[in-house]
Structure 1
Amino acid sequence: MSVRQPHHRRTARRLPAALAGATAGLLLAGLVAAPASAENGPGSPLATVARTVGDARFVPGPCPRTADPIPALEGARCGTLTVPEKHDRPKGRKITLGVAIVAAVTRRAADPIVWFAGGPGDDAVSEAQLAIDGGLNRDRDVIFMSQRGTYSADPALLCPNIDRFNADSLGLVYGAPSTGRLHVGATRACREQLKRQGAALSAYNTGESAADYAALRLALGIRQWNVFGISYGTDLALTYMRKFPQGVRSVGIDGVLPPSLAGASLTWSAARQGFDGLFKACAQQRSCNRRYPHLSDTFERLVRRLEARPITTTVTVPSRPAPVKVVLDGGVLVNWLTSATHVAAGVPRSIDELAHGNPQRIAEQWAGGKLSPQAIGRLAHGLAYGVFCSEWTPFETEADVIRAGRRAFPSFPRSVLANAPQLPFLHADCRAWSVPPAPHSIRNVTRSSIPTLVMSAGFDAQTGASNGAYVARTLSRSTVVTVPYVAHVAFAESPCARSITVSFFDSPTAPNKSCLAGLQPPRFEIAP
């Protein structure tokens, strides 16, 4: 899930909803399927003609803006999809979503793949390089459309003031009430800014986004396509296949966030699973276990110690010429490890150095993520809070979050448990955001016979591998895969995961998983 705390290494994810039934019905009634003659077949490139279907209109044009150059988009066919800001108010305000289609490398199958980005708040067009580097377009065109509110959409609900607060908060005690007041103040300022721009904040959520993709398929004249979602994009994919199953050949989900469980409570379980996976791998590697025994106990002891007595240090990071003050407390240590599983090989050494009085490695990684230029002005906080505050917090209490944390980490202080990993002060933020709760149907379990690849990662501390087995119980034609020794979003981390994914879209009921047998744990760094 992409949330308020940026990773120290940027990857396409982030960190684990639908319209009410009546609203979805209105949308489907307004969308008239394109005639067969207008559908794109193997000889007819997608996105080359303008088309209006119902209340949505696709227009070919320049490729969407991206914060960084994306070589994968060179030669892409691009344009925009215009849809109602609220699908149940088709005559109201319109929004525009950027679309880019990267062509298949070899033969072009008739059914393309559409990519659902992580977040909530990441931009799909900016994730194109990840998808193409992973070979997803070997035989199929791959479609990227910005989710509403994200970087390449109009309007873009970014709120870089929140990102700047994250950077400026390095010198603050993570879970302190005074930090919380500033945190919520940044959220409130974001809300006020977006309201002045005219955005209907209650329209930025998973259900409306799912309706956008249903409109896109018809506006592009696609009879059948495949869906691939990562991290929060799995929540969107599960909602989409429940609400709009028409025309879906297969679905791949990686780093699974079930809509029926999504929330701050779930992140505690995920953290436990990801941490334990990494600690177990160290214990099973003789050199790591000998040099760093009882790593889990050491980590939990450090969380308690730092929460009681935070330490302050200074570090230098590439983006800042002057030294930066960093406060490390128990909450920071938990959040650092939640994303540090992406660089697992160095984690035992970093924890050991901290235990022996040297916080530099951890402090540098923590500060590096928050101060990176890639952490400023790219995440759509307007969409993130639209999801969090209508689909998550109305269905769990702050006490629920603490109880979930205590089940996962009984030894952690209450002050740590009150702020779930990567979601500090979430309920207070959502009170400030002030959007209505989604209908309870947002939490419905997805039941489907659409062939589905359910992929998880053994070191995933953000959505947790157990989520895969949970959603697969009601997906009758699912293939469940856990890729060991990698962190959140296996496709981004593992050549084996990428191979399985491409194989799945070739054969949705029988993907080739043989590469799993040869996977090995990382060679953990051993300090002198």
Structure 2
Amino acid sequence: MTADQIFAVLTALLAGEAAPEFQPLRDGGHVAAYPVTVEPCNLPLGTLEVEGQTVICGTVSVPESYDPPSERRVPLEFAILKAQTLAPAPDPIVYLHGGPAAGTLGSIGLVSNVLFPNHRRTRDIITFDQRAAALSSTSVRCYEGIADHIVDLVKVSREDPEAPDLGDFVAPCVDEILASGADLPAYNTANNARDVQALMRTLGYPEYNIYGISYGTRLALEVMRTAPDGMRSVVIDGVAPPTQKIYDDLLGPVVDTLDALLDQCAADADCATAYPDLEGDINRTFERLAKDPIPASRGAPEITADLLFDITFSLRNNWRDLRPITPYLPRIFHELADGKTDAIDAFLAMDDAGPAGRLAATPGLGEEERTLLRAALGIAAASAELDAGVTDVITRLRSDLATDTDAVSVAEAFEIRSTEAARALSDADAKAAMLRDYALLQTTEPARAPLLSWVDTHFAGSDQSDLRQLVLAMSDTDLSRTFEIADEQATIYELLLASKLGVEIYACQEDVPWNSLEGLRARMEEVGARFPFLAAEENVADVIATFEDCAAFTQSPREGFHEPIVSDIPTLVLNGTLDIQTSWRWGGVAAETLSRAHNYIVPEAGHGSIAYQPCANDISVAFLNAPDAVPDTSCLATLTPHFILPDGSMSGGAN
């Protein structure tokens, strides 16, 4: 962290005043048709964030349907992360999350600190949970069904082996949502696109840029088609074009990551000579391990097909774990095909080394380079320690200020005492009934009577007496806060189902009419002809379950939705070669009809390339600063991997 950042956060904490530029939002927003309500941020904020100063949260109310605007409204939860400059660019970045319906506000630290720290130096970052997603899913929740199964959902959250499958709740949940009057077909990508425009207008940004990842790329493309007014530029990263049958082709991106590896090795003379039949090595290895795993020994774990699958695909798509896996893979496959484990053991030995140790273990470094690296790592460790110390001071100051101003409220005392009383209930059915009724408090207006009824119904003796006294002592503010607490706690479990339901609202209404179980199985057969281990049923189990769940929905295909988007808005297209969710080939498909698009493939990057490669991050910053210029992408050439050869040297003469 910089001295300016530290000074800014300390000044904001001590001042305790709201940023004046946020005042129009506190007054209801810039467009009366889409009213804004500023609310406390219902999410974990970073240490250097000060609510009301560096970040503000709230809801924007939009119509459930736009054609014509319906009376029923959808509250969209948003957050604005202010630019870290006194002279920000007027056009912010709105980040469109994936999923669909994955939400983004629950991972605001990822948005600020991993995806967009460089972009935020000059621009505000706006992000929001899209309709039917996470915190914006309240208009399509099945409160009764969730309350009835709250114990089951608790089991799901704890990964209890006796927990039911979430798919069991989909059909009754859909029935309850429809009975509530919700227009489920209105929860679609076209209305999401209109939501983006409504949000930006009422937040006061007449011109803006979009950055979409995964489903967010599909939504960004739909904004370009449906509601393009105000769009200055677009970045789509990990592209899911509407022309692609993504459910039929679930395994396509996985195959394409292998093809990228095969192409890279074939283009490297040393790798091609050392591993002339890499595709055969891959298939022979998985076949061998499936039948005969290598036992744990050698100070190393058991080598199974599942472990190798994870190393080959999942680990390379984890931005939190950036071990250099790719250089090892050709040798790993070549050796394991013959039952040898030298290369995979060397890779697995890096497992607990941490980022510094992983860097120090980079293959091919000479002793002089390792000495320089150790010195640099020592400096970095000292800097991190200083940062940690500053963070502790800020955290302590924040806590002390809160302690000085906030006493424990009656509502919080009630929560503590009711938790104690709930734990004392020994009968499982009684506890389930208590939890059910507690979850349903969120559907009731805050008042003393329903709270007393809940206490009298489920508790007795001193527990009942103590809780009644607390309820009777509550002010209106305490009552409101008590019901808010009930809502917050129930929401934890509701979001488990909402995450699945939100995905299927879009998948079943928009995509499944264009995809099919038959199409999926046909693609599996094609994939299996080249890579038999990929065509296993368990690799597509989630999609098969989605097709089954879709029987609960009425399909709502929209004419033209799967047509290519034609636009002249400046667009940057990024695709990672390691991406197993959206193929690195798909970006080129989307770019074909975008007349001002730049399409780049990013080596050694997974789903959402800017989380993996600073090069991709820098390219996107440069593009957003000057969308009409051709970005300098020379750094991409440095990302192509070199490979470890059988003698331990690196291909291409690399150090």
Same fold? TM cut 0.5 = yes
Is the aligned partner of 1:119 residue 2:102? no
Is the aligned partner of 1:248 residue 2:227? no
Show the counterpart of 1:206: 189
Q: Following TM superposition, by how much is the alpha carbon of 1:429 offset from its aligned partner in structure 2, in angstroms?
A: 2.8
Is the aligned partner of 1:237 residue 2:356? no
Closer, same or farther: CA 483–166 of 1 in aligned 2, 3 Å: farther
Whether contact under 8 Å (1:500, 1:511) holds in the other structure is: no
Matches within 5 A, 1:252-263: 252-263=235-246
Q: Following TM superposition, by how much is the alpha carbon of 1:230 offset from its aligned partner in structure 2, in angstroms?
A: 0.7
Q: Following TM superposition, by how much is the alpha carbon of 1:411 offset from its aligned partner in structure 2, in angstroms?
A: 3.4
Whether contact under 8 Å (2:574, 2:587) holds in the other structure is: yes
Show the counterpart of 1:101: 80
Closer, same or farther: CA 501–384 of 1 in aligned 2, 3 Å: same
The higher-RCO structure (CA 8 Å, 6+ apart) is 1
Q: Counterpart of 1:101 in structure 2: which amino acid?
A: I
Whether contact under 8 Å (2:311, 2:325) holds in the other structure is: no
Show the counterpart of 2:169: 189
Show the counterpart of 1:31: none
Closer, same or farther: CA 281–127 of 1 in aligned 2, 3 Å: farther
Q: Between Structure 1 and Structure 2, which shows a larger proportion of strand residues?
A: 1
Mean alpha-carbon deviation: is it higher for 499-508 or for 391-400?
391-400
Q: Following TM superposition, by how much is the alpha carbon of 1:480 offset from its aligned partner in structure 2, in angstroms?
A: 1.3
Q: Counterpart of 2:631 in structure 1: which amino acid?
A: N
Whether contact under 8 Å (2:167, 2:545) holds in the other structure is: no
Whether contact under 8 Å (2:236, 2:574) holds in the other structure is: yes
Q: Following TM superposition, by how much is the alpha carbon of 1:290 offset from its aligned partner in structure 2, in angstroms?
A: 8.2
Equivalent-residue separation in structure 1 for 2:198 and 2:500 (angstroms): 24
Whether contact under 8 Å (2:504, 2:550) holds in the other structure is: no
Closer, same or farther: CA 304–84 of 1 in aligned 2, 3 Å: farther
Q: Following TM superposition, by how much is the alpha carbon of 1:448 offset from its aligned partner in structure 2, in angstroms?
A: 0.4
Equivalent-residue separation in structure 2 for 1:420 and 1:247 (angstroms): 42
Equivalent-residue separation in structure 2 for 1:51 and 1:256 (angstroms): 32
Matches within 5 A, 1:172-321: 186-193=166-173, 195-196=175-176, 198=180, 201-281=184-264, 294-303=277-286
Is the aligned partner of 1:129 residue 2:109? yes
RMSD (CA atoms)? 4.4
Equivalent-residue separation in structure 1 for 2:200 and 2:48 (angstroms): 22
Structure 1, gaps ≥5 residues long: 1-41, 172-181, 315-324, 366-372
Give the 3-state SS of the residue equivalent to 1:442 in structure 2: coil
Greater Cα radius of gyration, structure 1 or 2: 2
Q: Counterpart of 1:118 in structure 2: which amino acid?
A: G
Q: Counterpart of 2:104 in structure 1: which amino acid?
A: A
Show the counterpart of 2:402: none
Structure 2, gaps ≥5 residues long: 1-19, 297-301, 352-491, 649-655
Is the aligned partner of 1:485 residue 2:604? yes
Q: Deviations 1:468-503 (Å, cap 9, x if unpaired)?
A: 111111111111121122222111111011111111
Equivalent-residue separation in structure 2 for 1:206 and 1:377 (angstroms): 22
Equivalent-residue separation in structure 2 for 1:500 and 1:410 (angstroms): 38
Closer, same or farther: CA 60–234 of 1 in aligned 2, 3 Å: same
Q: Counterpart of 2:315 in structure 1: which amino acid?
A: A
Give the 3-state SS of the residue equivalent to 2:196 in structure 1: helix
Is the aligned partner of 1:141 residue 2:142? no
Is the aligned partner of 1:76 residue 2:52? no
Matches within 5 A, 1:321-400: 337-342=312-317, 345-346=324-325, 348=329, 356=339, 377=496, 380-400=499-519
Equivalent-residue separation in structure 2 for 1:148 and 1:435 (angstroms): 18
Equivalent-residue separation in structure 1 for 2:643 and 2:266 (angstroms): 11
Picking from 23, 40, 43, the partner of 1:62 is: 40
Show the counterpart of 2:638: 519
Q: Number of aligned pairs?
A: 451
Q: Counterpart of 2:574 in structure 1: which amino acid?
A: M
Give the 3-state SS of the residue equivalent to 1:132 in structure 2: helix
Show the counterpart of 2:356: none
Give the 3-state SS of the residue equivalent to 2:611 in structure 1: helix
Q: Deviations 1:398-422 (Å, cap 9, x if unpaired)?
A: 2222333344452345992667658
Show the counterpart of 2:623: 504
With normalisation by structure 2, the TM-score equals 0.59
Mean alpha-carbon deviation: is it higher for 390-399 or for 49-58?
49-58
Closer, same or farther: CA 145–289 of 1 in aligned 2, 3 Å: same
Picking from 28, 36, 39, the partner of 1:50 is: 28
Equivalent-residue separation in structure 1 for 2:244 and 2:266 (angstroms): 31
Q: Counterpart of 2:56 in structure 1: which amino acid?
A: R
Q: Counterpart of 1:116 in structure 2: which amino acid?
A: L
Closer, same or farther: CA 460–142 of 1 in aligned 2, 3 Å: same
Closer, same or farther: CA 228–60 of 1 in aligned 2, 3 Å: same
Mean alpha-carbon deviation: is it higher for 157-166 or for 239-248?
157-166
Give the 3-state SS of the residue equivalent to 2:508 in structure 1: helix
Equivalent-residue separation in structure 2 for 1:327 and 1:200 (angstroms): 48
Give the 3-state SS of the residue equivalent to 1:56 in structure 2: coil
Q: Counterpart of 1:258 in structure 2: which amino acid?
A: P
Q: Between Structure 1 and Structure 2, which shows a larger proportion of helix residues?
A: 2
